[in-house]
Chains A and B, each alone.
Chain A
């Protein structure tokens, strides 16, 4: 199991979600997928209903998203995105496909090095910790603020309204992700 030394010298394992997703990615582990499904599918259903999907269609979308998670597992990279952010992105893409009848333009994929399947444990753990901080910050918001953040990430606000709405502390997680990107660029350069 992938671990890293924590601040008190004790080995700290990755979060359950990350371990499930790595088992799916590296071993096509169906029981891990079952656990991931049990955690995310009910939340996804709540999420897609709130973003305006008719109740009858919501479970179809949940099914599509979870199937994409299974099929695109090889693209999961815990050094740059947590499981929840990765699934969020897949869910938004699916809903935009349905809403606009065509996909949104997507950035070029990062070409991960194929001979390195072992993630950098320190980077993954640091990103997990930053994501926990973000989740806690979200839970501390008052109901009105929380409503605004939900609206923003459900795609209900225009960019000019978002300017005043966010206010989650994203600075640290941004720098952490940036470190992971720099590391990847470095490795890609060395591979050439």
Chain B
């Protein structure tokens, strides 16, 4: 576990993840970051403890007479072992490896040497991998909603600071930023939004429909 993680997931997002009210794209970032960060894992477990306290003090609802016997009767049923593959694959922590379904990502060029691989897209938002060559910038962009960017390899800097492996940048709709990959190693990030990205440069904007971003 990296000890150097200094940019974490905001508490409210972890609480929403614990409660199951977070979109799939954001949930993927939270689950991936928690796999890398014990500070946020402790926060998640603390929120689950709070959820547990709520459950434990919930008003009891009478059960129908047969339910207990039904469950007790099933205890000797053979247990089918669920094999949910959730282990790290290279730079991809378990939940991300599971989302990639143990395949290598299929990269599509975005221009400027930057590539992306869309992992998930639905009406609630999208999650994608971004590959930025060492020392190169991502086209300037802003976004309607909240954008979470988690570093998996290398690192990047923008107007707000520097981000290393395991760090998460939380950018709201206001921020127009130019993340630039650190020199030395290509940067790979997991990015999630709840709205389509908008690039500010003319050409990327024209190309957006083709890239489905």
Contact = CB atoms under 8 A, between A and B. Distances in A.
Given A47-B58, A85-B51, A37 B71 contact: yes
A130 B44 CA distance: 15
A41 B74 CA distance: 15
A186 to B, nearest CB: 11
B75 A152 contact: no
B180 interface: no
Interface string B52-75: 111111111111100110111011
Contact of A107 (B1, B34, B72, B79): B34
B24 interface: yes
B57 A107 contact: no
Contacts of A104: 17, 20, 22, 24, 27, 31
Interface string A81-103: 11111111101110110011001
A20 interface: no
Give the most central of B17, B50, B71: most A CB within 10 Å.
B50
Main secondary structure of the interface of A (DSSP, over half): helix
Interface string A54-94: 00001100110011001100000000111111111101110
Contact of A85 (B10, B39, B49): B49
Contact of A46 (B17, B27, B30, B58): B58
Interface residues of B, number: 66
Given A43-B56, A82-B52, A170 B46 contact: yes
A62 B70 CA distance: 11
A159 B31 CA distance: 15
A41 B79 CA distance: 21
Nearest to B76: A30
Interface stretch (B87-95, B104-112, B151-159): B87-95
Contacts of A96: 20
A154 interface: yes
A176 to B, nearest CB: 9
Contacts of B18: 89, 92, 153
A102 to B, nearest CB: 8
Contact of A138 (B35, B57, B74, B75): B57
Contact of B54 (A86, A149, A159, A162): A149
Interface stretch (A6-14, A115-123, A177-185): A177-185
Interface residues of A, number: 77
B131 interface: no
Interface string A138-168: 1100000000011011111111101100101
A28 B154 CA distance: 47
B72 A30 contact: yes
B86 interface: yes
B134 interface: no
A43 B63 CA distance: 10
Contacts of A63: 67, 70-71
B173 to A, nearest CB: 12
Give the most central of A85, A157, A158: most B CB within 10 Å.
A85
A67 to B, nearest CB: 6
A34 B56 contact: no
Given A105-B95, A135-B57, A153-B54, A159 B47 contact: no
Given A45-B60, A46-B61, A59-B67, 13 more contacts: A50-B58, A66-B71, A67-B74, A83-B52, A85-B53, A108-B93, A155-B21, A158-B16, A162-B12, A174-B42, A174-B46, A181-B38, A185-B38
Interface of B: 1, 10-13, 15-22, 24, 26-28, 30-32, 34-35, 38-39, 41-64, 67-68, 70-72, 74-75, 79, 84, 86-88, 93-96, 98-99
